[in-house]
Structure 1
Amino acid sequence: MAGRPREFNKTTALRKMREVFWKKGFEATTMIDLIDATGVASASLYSTFGTKADMFREAILDYNANEGGFASRALKEEPSSRTAIVRMLKDAAMLFTSWDRPRGCMIVSLGLRMGAESDDLVAWLSEQRKQRVTSVLERLRLGQDAGEIRRSTDVVALADFITTVLQGLSVQAEDGMPRERLLAVVNQTLQYYDRVTSLDN
């Protein structure tokens, strides 16, 4: 009679799988890699998380709910659109250059590294990134309605610009750009933000 599967901490196992996916990418990661990282048998991983693609999605969602949720927290918690954008971009520069995890944003970096054989996941990651454009645009529209941003400002174009910078910070960080240069990019971005949103113009 087969013994019962060994119990394990799901969150701990998920974080370890997340590290493997982030470092190696979805396609290059094997089940052997995930078993070695978690110390959990494949049958238990499958029964708990589902397929390897399901494991990957859960890892991404865990990232979004934790350190990767810095942008959502900034947009929600800050009292004005400008302070929200400042915090979001500065937090990005800090997070993307942290010494204790891979550089850059997990969603951006893995999305760029995935091949055609993972079309469903590529599309899913693309939707994750598009949601950030939407959330930035919503925050800018709230600021415009509150009188923080002048009415003539094209907030759609501004949201596209800000999220392009945000994702660019990830790419540059992954390529080794130091934190101080990323923060200099943030400062340049804020100068542009002030110029196109100022009520005095």
Structure 2
Amino acid sequence: MRTKDFNEQEVVKKAIAVFWKKGYHDTSMYDLIEGLGIGRSSIYHAFGDKHNLFARAVDLYQREATARLMDAFENSPSVKDAVAAFLQSVVDDVFSDACPKGCFKINTEVEMASHDDKIRKIVYDDDLIIEDSLFRAILRGQQSGEINPLKDAKALARFICSTIAGMRVYSKFREDREFFNDIAATALSVLD
């Protein structure tokens, strides 16, 4: 039996880029072969099918991005600064040429989550992790006096998460920095 001559993790990282650029439905097997640098039979042997490869790509993308976000929320000396940096990173992503428009996760939620139970569970579970991490950070900020203690920490976390999701959807077609800066500033102001 022939052994794999590629690293699955590296292939999944390449798959993120391919799926991010075109979305799940518009990504062909040819796109994957070209983008991953491996043959069709290797893709099927390692991942089963396009859908399983896509699920692995979404999961890896989320785990890495969420780990960075949680680290920022948990280790920043200022919760408000961490939230401000998160909001600013969304604005900066809109105007970056480093990645396709929109967030891979949000693009996936819009394209797939309403009709694909497996993908819906992957993104929903990650949404809950992010919301909970932000909720715990807001509670710490309330205890330290940095964030208004009279406001509902869970509602604040949900508002900020949904605002960021909306910003990422708008980033698919809007390129007005003032528009995004206004949204980020208003979202941050709810913590006062």
Pick aligned residue for 2:112 from 114, 137, 142? 114
Pick aligned residue for 1:27 from 25, 28, 34? 25
The residue matched to 2:85 in structure 1 has which SS? helix
Q: Distance in 2 between matches of 1:70 and 1:184?
A: 25
Q: Distance in 1 between matches of 2:151 and 2:18?
A: 43
What TM-score, normalized to structure 2? Answer: 0.84
Q: Is the 8 A contact 1:75 1:139 kept in 2?
A: yes
Q: Distance in 1 between matches of 2:91 and 2:58?
A: 20
Mapped pair 1:39 → 2:29: no
Q: Report the CA distance shift for 1:29/1:156 in structure 2 as closer, same or farther (over 3 A).
A: same
Runs of 4 or more consecutive aligned structure 1 residues displaced over 4 Å after TM superposition: 65-70
Determine the structure 2 residue equivalent to 1:84: 82
Q: Report the CA distance shift for 1:63/1:145 in structure 2 as closer, same or farther (over 3 A).
A: same
Q: CA deviation at 1:167?
A: 0.8
Percent of aligned positions that are identical: 28
Q: Report the CA distance shift for 1:5/1:117 in structure 2 as closer, same or farther (over 3 A).
A: farther
Q: Which runs of 5+ in 1 are unaligned?
A: 195-201
Q: Which runs of 5+ in 2 are unaligned?
A: none
What TM-score, normalized to structure 1? Answer: 0.81
- Equivalent residues in 2 for 1:180-191, closer than 5 Å: 180-191=178-189
Larger mean Cα displacement after TM superposition, 18-27 or 70-79:
70-79
Determine the structure 2 residue equivalent to 1:157: 155
Corresponding residue pairs, total = 192
Q: Is the 8 A contact 2:148 2:191 kept in 1?
A: no
The residue matched to 1:25 in structure 2 has which SS? helix
Q: Is the 8 A contact 2:80 2:147 kept in 1?
A: no
Q: Distance in 1 between matches of 2:135 and 2:171?
A: 24
* Greater relative contact order (CA < 8 Å, ≥ 6 in sequence): 2
Larger mean Cα displacement after TM superposition, 139-148 or 102-111:
139-148
**Larger gyration radius, structure 1 or structure 2:** 1
Determine the structure 2 residue equivalent to 1:197: none
- Equivalent residues in 2 for 1:4-23, closer than 5 Å: 4=2, 7-23=5-21
Q: Distance in 2 between matches of 1:154 and 1:89?
A: 20
Q: CA deviation at 1:157?
A: 1.4
